[in-house]
Amino acid sequence: MNTESLAQYLNEYLSVEGFADYAPAHNGLQVEGPTEVSRAAVAVDASEAVIREAVSRGVDVLIVHHGLFWDGQAKLVGPRFRKIRALIEGKVALYSAHLPLDSHPEVGNCAVLCRALGWSPAERFGSYQDRDIGWSCTVDFEREALAHYVGEIVGGPVRLIPGGPERVYRVGVVTGAAANLIPEASLKGLDALITGEGPHHTFHDAMEYGVNALYAGHYATETWGVRALGRHLEERFALEQEFIDLPTGL
């Protein structure tokens, strides 16, 4: 498959053009590679370790959720230089999709995680610059049991801040670092918010806004989208693909 055609398809499928995101995210093709693609890898992070692994596996394109550009710096020094050099020397293209992948109704982190939990992603929730990123779902759990269940599905520990009711019937799911949505969850009458992580002050937010906050790990909640996207490309284009799993534990 032509690399440019793959990038154009992903841009359209994920609605990358015009999608509100953090300024330095740069969704889309970040580093050019070979003209033709026959093998792809998907991963959460464009870290040095992931890039080295992609090169060693001989893939033509690496598709990630967290790309190279986050600090607004344009200088090619230090780790960024080493990453780009490894991609160019290894002849691997890099494509990144951040919030467009979180939000997507079919292969998005939030929707896929909802379905993995056995819930229907019923209503949109979690606004960022007037674009909804996550979903709310109807459930029926005691809050400690909910935290245990989510941990079983994501494969890791879940930190529960018990700020809301003991029985949970409405839950919002926004993967990654979305604890800032606790006030919105309260406003929309949700009993709990499931996300990856949150800063110190969000403990008090959860307690004061009356919302149970469940922190299930940034990495653990964001493997779902890239894996689903890889399967989608495999089915649609018969593109050989694999998931590079290098968890951070965070």
Which of 228, 226, 66, 245 has its CA nearest to residue 155?
A: 245
Residue 156's contacts (CB-CB under 8 Å, 6 or more residues apart) are 216, 217, 220, 249
Start and end residues for every CATH 3.40.1390.30 domain found in the chain: 3-97, 103-221
3-state secondary structure of 159: strand
Q: 103-221 in CATH: which number?
A: 3.40.1390.30
The pLDDT of residue 72 is above 80: no
Q: Which residue has the tokens 């809050």?
A: 143
Lowest-confidence pick of 63-77, 103-117, 179-193 = 63-77
**DSSP per-residue codes, 135-152:** EEEEEEEEHHHHHHHHHH
3-state secondary structure of 121: coil
Which strand (E) or helix (H) includes residue 250? none
Multiple choice CATH, 3-97, 3.40.47.10, 3.30.300.20, 3.40.1390.30, 3.40.50.1110? 3.40.1390.30
pLDDT, tens only, 226-247: 999 999 999 999 999 999 999 9
Per-residue confidence band for 210, with pLDDT thresholds at 50, 70 and 90 = very high
Mean pLDDT of the chain: 96
Model's pTM, two decimal places? 0.96
pLDDT, tens only, 96-136: 999 999 999 999 999 999 999 999 998 999 999 999 999 99
Question: What phi, psi does 149 have (nearest 5°)?
Answer: -65, -45
Determine contact, residues 208/228, Cβ cutoff 8 Å. no
Rg (CA), the chain: 18
C-alpha to C-alpha distance for 65 and 42, rounded to whole angstroms: 9
Give the CA angle between residues 205, 206, 212 to the nearest 5°. 165
Residue 143: the pLDDT is: 98
Q: In which region does residue 75 sit, left (phi positive, over 0), alpha (psi from -120 to 50) or beta (all else)?
A: beta
The pLDDT of residue 73 is above 80: no
